[in-house]
């Protein structure tokens, strides 16, 4: 037996840039980024894809984008700005993916041109996927417009669409070339979407960063009252922790390292059981509450620590219980655990808490105790 060994590293670099009103003419952050990117000899185009939730609430946007790119020699703006409905539905609709691919083809977007997407986490997942598979990857720019996409999903390296009724069945690991977090977009979020992404900050704080958890406690009321400065600080710190987790671990999840998914096994199941009527962030809040109660019953965190977690979630306005948890004598939830194990490749790995700011991985769940946790949550 002879063999040839192949071995290489692929470097990925991108910045998450915090800005405001990125398409106002005096804000040159975005245009300067584009001008300085890549080989100056290539003629570059830029195609915009916009979440309808953004388009409807920021009606000036198409005009602003056109003005922003007027008189730019180095870059050609594709005049057609595509708008698609946002939210989980967009990930279920094969026609949206097809239409984006058609636009990439029709407007001659090549591997050196840009596809910029403005929208929530769901919208960025499908546009990121289209950008990753067209021509084996065009240059993709993410402009997240929700709290969750600015503090978690939009700053990461994954994309995906739902297929065969399975969440993210199709997708790739494909880092964007840049992320622009524009705080102005967040102002038009419903209270629900303003809130829901905060659960991802609580998640990462609980398993990694006590100081940040305490900061969240101290600023929960202000966030609930839509204090912008406080919210933006939360987003920055959460994004930073998510970004660090990716680079310090196994970014493309090639081995068996776990992503940051405290509270997520139950959250995924809840999203399904409610037919995606609850948001990912809302489901994560409930999942965090559930696994925190379980961690306490396992005597890994104290009653006082548990109370602090529940209080934080409630202060922010999160529901911490959903009837679907108990549905079918809790057998549906039990199936969720099995599916999670299946998804991981046979070995169950669940993150629990051993302290505020400190997670631990376990490979077994005592489901009787988990059922008790559901009952406790119901009356909490």
Ligand X SMILES: NC(=O)c1ccc[n+]([C@@H]2O[C@H](COP(=O)([O-])OP(=O)(O)OC[C@H]3O[C@@H](n4cnc5c(N)ncnc54)[C@H](O)[C@@H]3O)[C@@H](O)[C@H]2O)c1
Binding region for ligand X (CB under 6 A): 51-54, 57, 86-88, 91, 119-123, 125, 145-146, 148-149, 152-153, 156, 158-159, 185, 188-189, 193, 196-197, 279-281
Q: Which stretch binds a copy of itself (CB under 8 A): 169-177, 215-223, 263-271, 302-310?
A: 169-177
Nearer to a copy of itself, 231 or 246 (CB): 246
Q: What are phi and psi of 118, to 5 degrees?
A: -115, 115
**Which residue spans within 155-294 are E strands per DSSP?**
161-163, 166-170, 178-182
CB-facing half-sphere around the CA of 329: CA atoms within 13 A = 1
Q: Under rule CB under 8 A, which residues in 50-89 are in contact with a copy of itself? A: none
Nearer to ligand X, 199 or 295 (CB): 199
Nearer to a copy of itself, 53 or 156 (CB): 156
Q: Under rule CB under 8 A, which residues in 254-293 are in contact with a copy of itself? A: 254-256
From the list 122, 133, 141, 365, which residue makes contact with a copy of itself (rule: CB under 8 A)? 133
> Where on the phi/psi map is residue 164: left (φ > 0), alpha (ψ -120 to 50), or beta?
left
Residue 173's binding partner, choosing from ligand X, a copy of itself, none, with beta-carbon cut-off 5 to 8 A by kind? a copy of itself
Examine residue 36 and tell whether it contacts a copy of itself (CB under 8 A).
no
Q: Are 138 and 131 in contact (CB under 8 A)?
A: yes
Three-state SS annotation for 152-173:
CHHHCCECCEEECCEEEEECCE
Record the tokens describing residue 127, joined without a space.
């546009």
From the list 172, 315, 372, 380, which residue makes contact with a copy of itself (rule: CB under 8 A)? 172
Smallest distance from a copy of itself to CB 139, Å: 9
Q: Which residues are 44's β-sheet partners?
A: 75
Smallest distance from ligand X to CB 53, Å: 2
Residue 225's binding partner, choosing from a copy of itself, ligand X, none, with beta-carbon cut-off 5 to 8 A by kind? none
Smallest distance from a copy of itself to CB 16, Å: 4
Smallest distance from a copy of itself to CB 230, Å: 16
How far apart, in whole angstroms, are the C-alpha atoms of residue 201 and residue 149?
A: 11
Smallest distance from ligand X to CB 72, Å: 25
C-alpha distances out from residue 310 to 199, 305, 314, 326, Å:
12, 9, 6, 19
Burial class (CB in 10 A: 0-12, 13-18, 19+), 57: middle
Q: Are 204 and 259 in contact (CB under 8 A)?
A: no
Smallest distance from ligand X to CB 248, Å: 16
Q: Are 328 and 336 in contact (CB under 8 A)?
A: no
Examine residue 113 and tell whether it contacts a copy of itself (CB under 8 A).
yes
Examine residue 16 and tell whether it contacts a copy of itself (CB under 8 A).
yes
């Amino acid at each position: 037996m002879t063999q040839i060994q192949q071995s290489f590293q692929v470097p990925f670099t991108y910045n998450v840039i915090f800005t405001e009103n990125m398409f106002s003419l005096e804000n040159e952050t975005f245009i300067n980024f584009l001008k300085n990117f890549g080989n100056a000899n290539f003629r570059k185009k830029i195609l915009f894809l916009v979440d309808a939730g953004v388009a409807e609430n920021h009606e000036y946007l198409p005009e602003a984008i056109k003005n922003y790119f007027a008189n730019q020699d180095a870059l050609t703006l594709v005049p057609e700005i595509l708008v698609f409905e946002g939210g989980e539905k967009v990930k279920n609709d094969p026609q949206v993916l097809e239409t984006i691919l058609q636009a990439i083809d029709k407007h001659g977007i090549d591997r050196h041109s840009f596809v910029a997407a403005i929208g929530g986490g769901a919208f960025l997942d499908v546009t990121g996927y289209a950008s990753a598979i067209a021509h084996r990857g065009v240059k993709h720019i993410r402009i997240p417009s929700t709290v969750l996409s600015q503090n978690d999903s939009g700053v990461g390296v994954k994309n995906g669409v739902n297929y065969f009724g399975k969440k993210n069945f199709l997708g790739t690991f494909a880092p964007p070339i840049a992320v622009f977090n524009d705080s102005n977009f967040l102002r038009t979020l419903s209270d629900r979407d303003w809130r829901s992404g905060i659960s991802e900050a609580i998640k990462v704080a609980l398993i990694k960063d006590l100081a940040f958890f305490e900061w969240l406690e101290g600023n929960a009321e202000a966030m609930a009252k839509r204090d912008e400065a406080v919210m933006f600080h939360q987003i920055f710190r959460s994004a930073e922790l998510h970004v660090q987790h990716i680079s310090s671990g196994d970014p493309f999840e090639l081995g068996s390292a776990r992503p940051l998914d405290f509270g997520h096994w139950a959250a995924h199941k809840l999203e399904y059981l409610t037919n995606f009527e609850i948001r990912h962030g809302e489901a994560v809040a409930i999942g965090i509450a559930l696994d925190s109660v379980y961690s306490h019953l396992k005597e890994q965190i104290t009653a006082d620590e548990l109370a602090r977690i529940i209080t934080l979630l409630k202060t922010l306005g999160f529901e911490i219980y959903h009837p679907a948890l108990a549905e079918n004598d809790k057998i549906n939830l039990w199936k969720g655990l099995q599916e999670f194990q299946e998804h991981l490749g046979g070995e169950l790995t669940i993150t629990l808490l051993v302290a505020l700011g400190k997670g631990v991985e376990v490979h077994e769940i005592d489901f009787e105790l988990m059922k008790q946790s559901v009952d406790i949550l119901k009356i909490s």
